[in-house]
Chains A and B, each alone.
Chain A
Amino acid sequence: MRFQLAVGALGLAAALGVARADDLTVPVAVHDAGFEPAQVSTPSGARVRLEVSNETAAAIEFESFELNRERVVQPGQKVAVYLSGLSPGRYEFFDDFHPERKGVLVVE
């Protein structure tokens, strides 16, 4: 019974958009010059694992008002930002510590 509940909860969690193995990984690197690539696209409905790596010498803060995410990334580190259930559209993101660095996620 408890096992079935656990499976049910996991299934529900997966259906609602919790991280799992078949997430679509989208890498984005931060260089001194900006995001690379500056534009990434994903199909709508996919669970996206946006992998932000900081290749500069200073801390950055990946931030997006449109995606409702913010995350500090230490130099040399790589973080995974999970996104799910996004409707088609353009979602801008930037580095809050260096706002001139900008990028956009296009959900098709």
Chain B
Amino acid sequence: MAQTLLITWRETLEAALIVGMLLTYLGRSGQRAGIRYVWLGAGGAVLAALGCGAASGDALTLLGPETQELLQAGILFLAVGVLSWMVLWMGRHARALRGDLQRKADRALAAGRLLGLAAIAFVAVFREGLETVLFLWGIVVQSGTGLEVAPLVAAGLAGAALAVGTAWLFFRGFAFLRLQTFFRVTGVLLLLVAAGLLASGVNKLIGLGYLPPIVPQVWNTAWLVRDGSPLGALLSALVGYRSRPSLLEVLAFGLYFPPMLWALRRAEGAAEAARSDAARSAA
């Protein structure tokens, strides 16, 4: 039962962290309109995952295992694209927001950004949600083998709730940060998440035989952080941690993260320049 709890905790953690990060960001920047869209995306994903889980015998099998995995990789790359775009946009706003935040006035967000927020929440929750549903559904299916189902399913759901709690605690820890620092940290964290998702997508294509690993195992840090451990799961959710990555995954991470970090710094800098320009022309 503890095992069931740990499994759903791990499966749900990444989604909870991403959604938590978006909600915290929107809350602290006073962009309340966006919050509803994040919940809409997350809620829609839970329903979609439940629907797919219920239909897993038919709908998913119909696609074929290879197509399913390709679809997953495609979704990951899409998520990387949308996340990158959102982070740069957040960066441009981070500094401009500074002055009038205390009012917590509702800020109008363009329709595209709202959809972007909903899309990220949907993708994050759907991906992990589907696995959780399949796993819990499996427990129900196996009830014939003499397992007591109800406590196991309850443990599974408790694991998911615990993941949400973990994410909440994680962001509570951010509350003490000054707003500007908070925005900076959120931006960098989301870029790390995106880099991890990119590496995961690449890992899937390697497993499918579409891409070469180049070197199957560049290093092994299992002695430091084991993949299945709570810390390993947290790092995996945040930065796509794996103890034994292939060279291609490391390259994907390394070619994505530094340039994006640079672009984020530039976006923040541009926002600052625009602000002081505006201040100067007003004076």
> Nearest residue in A to B6 (C-beta to C-beta)?
A99
Chain A interface: which of B117-125, B159-167, B241-249?
B241-249
Chain B 141-158 near chain A by CB (<8 Å), digits 1 or 0: 110110000000000000
- CA–CA, A59 to B139, complex, Å? 9
How far, in Å, is A99 (CB) from chain B's closest CB? Answer: 6
Q: In the bound complex, do residue A69 and residue B145 qualify as a contact, i.e. CB atoms below 8 Å apart?
A: no
Given A66-B244, A68-B245, A74 and B142 touching (CB < 8 A)?
no
Given A19-B210, A57-B142, A59-B138, A65 and B222 touching (CB < 8 A)?
yes
Q: B142 contacts which chain A residues (CB < 8 A)?
A: 56-58
Q: Taking the complex as formed, is B131 at the interface, i.e. its CB lies under 8 A from any CB of chain A?
A: yes
Q: Taking the complex as formed, is B208 at the interface, i.e. its CB lies under 8 A from any CB of chain A?
A: yes
Q: Taking the complex as formed, is B273 at the interface, i.e. its CB lies under 8 A from any CB of chain A?
A: no
Q: Taking the complex as formed, is A7 at the interface, i.e. its CB lies under 8 A from any CB of chain B?
A: no
Q: Taking the complex as formed, is A78 at the interface, i.e. its CB lies under 8 A from any CB of chain B?
A: yes
Q: In the bound complex, do residue B216 and residue A18 qualify as a contact, i.e. CB atoms below 8 Å apart?
A: no
Q: Taking the complex as formed, is B65 at the interface, i.e. its CB lies under 8 A from any CB of chain A?
A: yes
* Chain A 56-84 residues near chain B, CB threshold 8 A: 56-61, 65-66, 68-69, 71-84
- CA–CA, A72 to B206, complex, Å? 15
- CA–CA, A68 to B245, complex, Å? 7
Q: Taking the complex as formed, is B61 at the interface, i.e. its CB lies under 8 A from any CB of chain A?
A: yes
- CA–CA, A19 to B57, complex, Å? 28
Q: In the bound complex, do residue A74 and residue B60 qualify as a contact, i.e. CB atoms below 8 Å apart?
A: yes
Q: Taking the complex as formed, is B228 at the interface, i.e. its CB lies under 8 A from any CB of chain A?
A: yes
The prevalent SS among residues of A at the interface is: loop
Given A57-B142, A65-B228, A68-B244, A81 and B3 touching (CB < 8 A)?
no
Q: A81 contacts which chain B residues (CB < 8 A)?
A: 207
Q: In the bound complex, do residue B137 and residue A59 qualify as a contact, i.e. CB atoms below 8 Å apart?
A: yes
Assign chain B's interface to a size class: 35 or more
How far, in Å, is B90 (CB) from chain A's closest CB? Answer: 31
Q: In the bound complex, do residue A82 and residue B56 qualify as a contact, i.e. CB atoms below 8 Å apart?
A: no
Q: Taking the complex as formed, is A43 at the interface, i.e. its CB lies under 8 A from any CB of chain B?
A: no
Q: Taking the complex as formed, is A34 at the interface, i.e. its CB lies under 8 A from any CB of chain B?
A: no
Q: In the bound complex, do residue A97 and residue B138 qualify as a contact, i.e. CB atoms below 8 Å apart?
A: yes
Q: Taking the complex as formed, is B93 at the interface, i.e. its CB lies under 8 A from any CB of chain A?
A: no
Q: In the bound complex, do residue B212 and residue A17 qualify as a contact, i.e. CB atoms below 8 Å apart?
A: yes
Q: B169 contacts which chain A residues (CB < 8 A)?
A: none
Chain B 225-254 near chain A by CB (<8 Å), digits 1 or 0: 011100000000000001111100100000
- CA–CA, A73 to B60, complex, Å? 11
How far, in Å, is A73 (CB) from chain B's closest CB? Answer: 7
A-B contact pairs, 12 of them (CB 8 A): A19-B208, A58-B139, A59-B135, A59-B137, A59-B138, A65-B228, A65-B242, A74-B134, A80-B208, A81-B207, A82-B207, A96-B7
Q: Please name the 9 residue pairs, one residue from A and one from B, whose CB atoms are nearest each other, closest first.
A: A19-B209, A58-B138, A16-B212, A82-B209, A65-B227, A59-B134, A79-B65, A17-B212, A58-B141
State the A residues within 8 Å of B (CB): 13, 16-19, 23, 32, 49, 56-61, 65-66, 68-69, 71-87, 96-97, 99
State the B residues within 8 Å of A (CB): 3, 7, 56-57, 60-61, 65-66, 69, 131, 134-135, 137-139, 141-142, 144-145, 203, 206-217, 222, 226-228, 242-246, 249
